[in-house]
Amino acid sequence: MRLGWIAAGAAALLVGSGCSGPAGDDPVEETVQAVVARDYVALGDSYAAGLGGGGYVDTSCLQSKANSYPQLWIDAKGADAFGETVNNACSGALVGTVTNRQLTALDEQTGWVTLTVGGNDAGFVATLQQCLLGSDQTCAGSVKTAVGTMGSNLPGSLDGLYTEIRAKAPNAKVYVLGYPHLVADPGKGVACDALTDGRRKTLNAASDTLSETISKTVAAHDGFTYVDVRKAFAGHEACTKEPWIHAVGNDISESFHPNADGYAAYAKALLSATG
């Protein structure tokens, strides 16, 4: 499949059950096929695609072949743990993009789904631009707009997506991974472009609101688990001495996305949640 990995084939279990036909007839043998849900589908935006991890397999979705957290999780658990594995995540994806374009691989044989999405819907790209290039006032105003979107539009969009995922993959365990703080907390880390302590505080407060919005929506859906990665990244955000998140660099598209170490932290958090 496009942008996917093919692992071991799916298995099926046949269970025989006898029932009697009309008098004098031999019993009729019926077989019931039990679904074995072992396939894995990864969904979401650039954080699920692995943007920032390098080694991209395409120029549109910018999936990292080796360092996306879905691939690292597969490597950690071993390919034998899964049937077919597919990563449909794509950089720039919105909640609606996932709903309308990425759910094609889901079915009753899907046993695992991972998902990271919502940051683009909240307008974090524009917010970061304002906090890097604008004044304190424009930074604060952009963050306020983003937080407003999180409260008004995002919960309903996420709820609809989660409902659709469950309808298409009724047997799947779904793990929704959140976002880390993007920058070091005020008073910590190192100097970092225009990201002063005040702007860092504003950005990280917005990140907390995003995490809380996603986690509350996840909690309303059976079989869904929220994986919070903020503690995993603590002390390794952008603007620290040993960052796991890219600050502004030569490749602008990778800015404020995890590097290979960051995606390893994502995979470790997911492995801890899934066992």
Each domain of the chain, given as residue ranges in start order, spans: 4-274
Q: How much of the chain, in percent, has pLDDT values that exceed 70?
A: 87
Contact between 123 and 134 (Cβ < 8 Å): no
For the chain, the first-to-last Cα distance in angstroms comes to: 27
The CA distance from 10 to 110, in Å, is 10
CATH class of 4-274: alpha beta
Tally the C-alpha atoms within 13 A of residue 231's C-alpha that lie toward its C-beta. 4
Closest CA to 5 of 45, 54, 64, 51: 64
Residue 48 near residue 69, CB atoms below 8 Å: yes
- Which helix (H) or strand (E) segment holds residue 204: the answer is helix 197-219
Per-residue pLDDT at 192 exceeds 90? no
For the annotated catalytic residues, the residue numbers are: 46, 257
In the block, which residue shows the tokens 């096929």? 33
> What pTM, to 2 d.p., does this model score?
0.85
Task: Give the Cα separation of 108 and 95 in Å (integer).
Answer: 22
d(CA 99, CA 176): 14
- What one-character-per-residue DSSP string does 171-191 give? T-EEEEE----SBPPTTSS--
Structure confidence by residue, pLDDT tens digits, 55-111: 999 999 999 999 999 999 999 999 899 999 999 999 999 999 999 999 999 999 999
Position 24 pLDDT exceeds 70: no
